[in-house]
Structure 1
Amino acid sequence: MQQAHDMIEAEGVAALSLAKLAGAFGIKAPSLYRHVGNKTGLLRAVNLLTTQMLFTAMHKAEAGAPTDPTQRLLAILQAYRQFAHDNPNSYQLAMTNQDDELRPDENVLVQMVLPIQDIMIEISGEDNALTALRGALALVHGFAMLELNRQLRRGGDLDTAFTQSVKAYLAGWQHK
C-alpha cells in the first residue's frame, strides 16, 4: 500500500491503476487481485494507510508536547495540518471522498481518535468533548484544504493565523 500511496502523491489518484502498481513491483496485475479485489479495494486500503499515517503523526506530536492539554492539542492539530501539506493527494483522497466503499472501517477510525478526544475532555469537559473535537477537526481540515487549494491569498503569516485560530477555538471550550 505504501507504493500505491507514493504513486498517488507523485502522479495523482487518476494516474493510479492496478497495472501500473503491478509494474512497479515487476509483476503482472492479476497477482495483485489476491491482495485487493479491484481499484476500489486498493483505494480503500490506501485511505486506511493514509489515515493511519495521519494519526501516527498526530500521536507522535502529542508525545513531544508539553503536558498542558491545550498545548498538546495544538501540537496534534499542527501535525495534522503538516501531514495534509506533506501528503496532499492522498490526504484529499482519504478526507474528501463521499464514497462509503473507499472509507476505512469506522471502528478503526474511532479507536484512532479516542486518545485525542480524551485530551479534549481535559479542555472542554466530558459532555462537550465530542462536539469540541469535531469542531477542532473541522477547523484544521478546512484551513488545510483552503491552503492546499491556494485560497488564502491575502498575505500574512498562515502559520501564525492557524495557531491563533486554534488557540481561540480551544479557549472558547475551556470548562470551568
Structure 2
Amino acid sequence: MTVVLKKPHKSARKPKGDGHLRRGEILAAAERIFIAEGYSGATIRKIADAVGVSSTALYMHFRDKDQILLEISNDAIERLLELNTQIAAQPIDPVSRVRVMLEAYMKFALDNPNTYQLVFCSTGDHISVDKTADVLALGDRCFEKFSEPVHQIAAQGRLRSGAAKEAAEVLWSGCHGLVSLLITKPERGWSDADQLMKVMLDGLLYGLVTD
C-alpha cells in the first residue's frame, strides 16, 4: 500500500487585480498563524501563502511582522475605545455605565478570540518599546475612558474598598481573567459564558460598590 503525503495547505495564488492586497485578509491570516505557531514561528512567507499572494506583494502592504501585529493591536484597541466612547455618552448612572462597558469588553473578547488572545494575552516582549508606544498610548486612553465612571462612583463615596484607580484595575483584570480562560482553556467544560459574565459582574460590582 502506497501512502501519499499531503503537502501543507496553501491558498490558491490570486491573480493581480483580484483584491490580493487587501489588508484585512492579510491581517486575518496573520492572526491565525501568530496564534497557531507563535510570533517567532510565523513568517511573512507563511502569511503570504495563507492569503495566496507572493511575499513581495505582502511587503507592499506591510514592511515586517511587527507592523502587522501592531496594526492588529491598534485596530482592536480602537474598536474598544469606540465602544467605551459610545457607552460613555449614554444617559445612565455610573454603575450601569461600568457594567455595560465591561459587558461590551467581554463580548468583544469572546467574539474575537484570536484577536483578543494575540493583543491582550501575549507579553509583547518581542517588539521594542519604541515601536509599541502609539499602541500603548491608545490603550491608556481606552482605560481612562473606562475609568471615568469608576471615578464618579468614588466621588459619590460609594466605593467599599480602594481608590478609583485600584477599583478600575480590579474590575478590568477580573473580566480579563474570565474571558482569557474561556478563550485559552475551552476544554475545561465551562458553564454558559453569558451566565459566567453575569456572575462575574454581580460579584465585582456588588462587592465594590455600595447601594
- Superposition TM-score tier, normalisation by shorter sequence: 0.7 to 0.9
Pairwise mapping of residues 135-146 of structure 1 onto structure 2 (< 5 A)?
A: 135-146=170-181
Q: TM-score normalized by structure 2?
A: 0.66
Higher deviation after alignment, 23-32 or 158-167: 23-32
Unmatched tracts of structure 1, length 5 or more = none
8 Å CA contact 2:150–2:164 kept in 1: the answer is yes
Taking the aligned partners of 1:154 and 1:17, their CA distance within structure 2 comes to 34
Shift of 1:79: 1.0
* Structure 2 unaligned regions, length at least 5: 1-22, 157-161
Using the size of structure 1 for normalisation, the TM-score is 0.77
State how far apart, in whole Å, the 2-side matches of 1:131 and 1:152 are: 30
Equivalent pair of 1:58/1:76 in contact (CA under 8 Å):
yes
Q: Is the 8 A contact 2:182 2:190 kept in 1?
A: no
The answer on whether the counterparts of 2:77 and 2:138 sit within 8 Å (CA) in structure 1 is: no
Give the equivalent residue in structure 1 for 2:12: none
Conserved? CA contact 1:12–1:89, under 8 Å:
no
Equivalent of residue 122 in structure 1, options 128, 152, 159: 152
Distance of aligned partners of 1:125 and 1:152 in 2 relative to their CA distance in 1, 3 Å threshold? farther
Note the C-alpha offset of 1:119.
Answer: 0.9
Q: Does 1:109 align with 2:139?
A: yes
C-alpha distance after superposition, 1:61-90 (max 9, x if no partner): x25866021111111111111111111111
Taking only the aligned residue pairs, the percentage that are identical comes to 23
Q: Identify which of structures 1 and 2 has the higher relative contact order when contacts are C-alpha pairs closer than 8 Å and 6+ apart.
A: 1
AA of the residue aligned to 1:4: I
Aligned residue pairs: how many?
Answer: 173
**Counterpart in 2 of 1:153?**
189
Equivalent in the alignment of 1:99: 124
Measure, in 2, the Cα distance between the counterparts of 1:69 and 1:21. Answer: 44
Distance 1:153 1:24, change over 3 A: closer
Q: Displacement, 1:114? A: 1.4
Q: Report which of the two has the higher share of helix.
A: 1
Given residue 116 of structure 1, which amino acid in structure 2 is its aligned partner? Answer: F
- Asked whether 1:172 is paired with 2:207, we answer yes
Cα distance in 1 for residues equivalent to 2:33 and 2:51: 19
1:1-176 equivalences under 5 Å are 1-8=23-30, 11-13=32-34, 14=36, 17-19=43-45, 28-33=54-59, 35-60=61-86, 62=87, 67-100=92-125, 101=127, 103=132, 105-125=135-155, 128-148=163-183, 149-150=185-186, 153=189, 155=191, 157-174=192-209
Residues in 2 aligned to 1:28 and 1:164: alpha-carbon distance in whole angstroms: 48
**Letter of the 2:182 counterpart:** E
Q: Per-residue deviation at 1:24?
A: 7.9
**Partners of 2:45 and 2:176 in 1: how far apart?**
32
What is the CA–CA distance in structure 1 between the aligned matches of 2:68 and 2:203, rounded to whole Å? 40
